[in-house]
Amino acid sequence: MTDKKRTVKRKQPDPAFEKRLVERREELSWLYRELYFDDAMFTELIESMRDFSARRKTALRRIDALREKDQGWYRSNELLGMMLYIENFGGTLKGVEQKLDYLERANVNYIHLMPFLDTVEGRSDGGYAVADFRKVRKDLGTMKDFEHLTASCRDKGICVCMDFVMNHTSIDHEWAQKALAGDPEYMDRYFFFDTDEIPKQFEETTPQVFPTTAPGNFTYQEKCGKWVMTTFYPYQWDLNYRNPRVFNEMMYNFLFLANKGVDVIRIDAVPYIWKEIGTPSRNLRRVHTVVRMMRLIGEIVCPGVLLLGEVVMEPAKVVPYFGSVEKPECHMLYNVTTMATTWHTVATRDAGLLKKQLDILAGLPRDYLFLNYLRCHDDIGWGLDYAELEKQGMREVPHKMYLNDYFRGYTGNSVSRGELYNFDPVTKDGRFCGTTASMCGIEKALQEKDEAALDRAIRFDLTLHAYMFMQSGIPVLYSGDEIGQLNDYTYLEDPYKKEDSRYIHRGRMRWDLAENIDAEGTYENRVFNGLDRLEKIRKAEKAFRADADFFTLETYDKAVICIGRYLEGEKLLGIFNFSENDRTAWINEKNELYTDLVTGDILEAKGVGIEAYGFKWLKRR
């Protein structure tokens, strides 16, 4: 993007914008001046916001007005998400648009389109190395195609989420190329150093993200004879948010994309966007200043757009990104720790740690909204509470090794299949990759043509999804999970992908298998219909709303966890068995009668039997 693209003829100002600006300008000004002593740049920011507001289409302004009146619109039990790669799901943006009827049938009304902005093959990092924030990858379509897709989604009541990579640009971005050529204005937009003296000071306290595949946080650029900060990969240059020009320009990119009809902007790598020597350059105070300003700018220009923060850290470091009630930051955050702990529970058949973490989440304000998922586009990092596990005799390194061995199918009576990612032979640390279905045993059962094992695997797959739906927040499927799609080993044949095992679960959507959802008895049919039943029950029961009370009950069986939800007199209990054996949940809810929402059976919530890898959703009568 060139800076001159901001200079456009202004349309008629929006009165609603002016009102919102009056209400929020003072705080925005105060925060801006906390970071930048530049009145001219602040004035430019305000005028550009006015321009973007004036160009916001009538349909989007209408959505803004509706969502301003109902600011909790996204907190209902109506939203069900799906993450998908455009190229894998539909081939192109137009191809995705042609699949909207399928998404509707799958009950999906929130789609997260994985990175699709312009990047360079071989220097992409899955699309997170952006070469142009205002251009779509040529093989996927055009920005006009994207705007048409968001309009079609809006007509069907489907929200669209996209990634906004704030921390860095690609080395192929116009700014980086000008910096590489020696232009001081553009070098100031990154972290350039003449020698490695200051980079070494940073390295003393700044952890490495990919110590084996991309060690260090700086890369020497022979073309200009300088060092540049590259926290993630050498072709991803960290932006310097101490420079007000960087902040302004990135906010203009944010508003440009919001005006294309996006409902949710996922801010990638949020904790990294402010750097200081002598610190970990993670989660610094100024990060929250930047995010709060972004929230204010969105509320002023496009109040119908939500901010989703990607903070892949333990709960204590995640929660601050919600901000406060008076000064909120992100509308939603990912529930990363619970996802990892869920798979730990699968491997150990011990829900103790999971219960503890769910109890912590239950104690948070109901205003805090998490996106919950079993699998996503990324690997599973074993970021568990090892201080707690140590009390149970589980030391960090051996336990990580056990988990990785288990999910590869090597130990613990495992039925899982998958591969390691970024394994460090020295520390023995590594992450895991695989689809939900393959980790639940569907792949192994199909290979061995074991019908009994397939029954158990499908039941476990559905149980884990039922458990995810029971958590507080918005559940998100990964594309293909709705049909139990398996690991895709063909990535090994692609020279650009073969070194990155994450592509084992980033395979193309198997539309040939999706045709089986109407073929009774096929595993795709059983998974799809099983999820369909659960999704429709969730949407029909108000206790699944995000503002419901959320709690756990003691089951007195370490393999079984019980989650409760309560809202306006309605009470639900979800009981989940993580064991391959039948178990009993030794709960005793005052001899009240409950209805099993799946089977219709009436029973007491007292000493409830749960079949192997099974679950029950119970509603108090």
Three-state SS for 216-240 is CCEEEECCCCEEEECCCCCCEEEEC
Which residue type, as a one-letter code, is found at position 553? L
pLDDT band at 4 (very low <50, low <70, confident <90, very high): very low
> Strands (DSSP E) along 534-577, which ranges?
549-553, 560-567, 570-577
Task: Note the pLDDT tens digit of each residue in 15-54.
Answer: 999 999 999 999 999 999 999 989 999 999 999 999 999 9
User: Residue 615 has what pLDDT?
Assistant: 98
**pLDDT over threshold 70, residue 342:** yes
Mean of the pLDDT values across residues 191-213? 93
Q: Which two tokens stand for residue 341?
A: 């702990």
Is 14 tagged catalytic? no
Of the listed 14, 125, 238, 268, which one is catalytic? Answer: 268
Architecture of domain 542-620: Sandwich (2.60)
Helices then strands, counting H and E runs in the chain, come out as 22, 23
Tell me, yes or no, if the pTM score tops 0.75: yes
* Whole-angstrom Cα Rg for the chain: 25
What are the pLDDT digits (tens) for 108-133?
999 999 999 999 988 988 899 999 99
Catalytic annotation present for 118 = no
157-166, 211-220, 323-332, 450-459: range with lowest mean pLDDT: 211-220
> Reduced to 3 states, what is the DSSP secondary structure of residue 21?
helix
Q: For 446-456, write each residue's pLDDT tens digit.
A: 999 999 999 99
Per-residue DSSP letters for 69-92? H-TTGGGSS---EEEE-HHHHTSS
Neighbours of 162 (CB within 10 A): 23
pLDDT-derived band at 367 (thresholds 50, 70, 90) equals confident
Confidence of residue 426 (pLDDT cuts 50, 70, 90): confident
HEC per residue, 498-520: CCCHHHHCCCCCCHHHHHHHHCC
- Per annotation, catalytic residue among 51, 125, 310, 443: 310
Please report, rounded to a whole number, the percentage of residues in the chain having pLDDT higher than 70.
Answer: 98
pLDDT range class, residue 212, cuts 50, 70, 90: confident
List, for residues 285-294, the tens digit of each pLDDT value.
Answer: 999 999 999 9
When pLDDT is averaged across residues 426-434 and rounded to a whole number, the result is 89
Q: Which of 506, 457, 503 is nearest to 479 (CA)?
A: 506
Local structure of residue 25 (DSSP, 8 states): H
- CA-to-CA dists, residue 604 to 171, 396, 460, 620, angstroms: 62, 41, 24, 9
At 260, the pLDDT band (50, 70, 90 cuts) reads very high
* Predicted local confidence at residue 134, as pLDDT: 98
Split at pLDDT 50, 70, 90, the class of 3 is low
Class of CATH domain 168-238 = alpha beta
* Sheet of 218-221, strands arranged across: 192-193, 226-229, 218-221
Question: 7 pLDDT exceeds 80?
Answer: no
CATH node for 1-77+100-117+146-162+244-334: 3.20.20.80
Residues in Cβ contact with 583 at an 8 Å cutoff, skipping those fewer than 6 apart: 557, 559, 560, 577, 609, 610, 612
Beta-carbon contacts of residue 141 (< 8 Å; ≥ 6 apart): 92, 93, 94
pLDDT at 9 over 60: no
Q: Amino acid letter at 147? A: E
Q: Cα–Cα distance between 345 and 141 in angstroms, integer?
A: 42
DSSP code, position 366? T
Q: Rounded CA gap, 214 and 621, in Å?
A: 57
Sorted by where each begins, the domain ranges of the chain are 1-77+100-117+146-162+244-334, 168-238, 542-620
Q: Please give the structure tokens belonging to residue 294.
A: 């972004």
CA–CA gap between residue 362 and residue 561 (Å, rounded): 14
Query: What pLDDT score does 425 carry?
Result: 83
CA 3/CA 119 separation, integer angstroms: 19
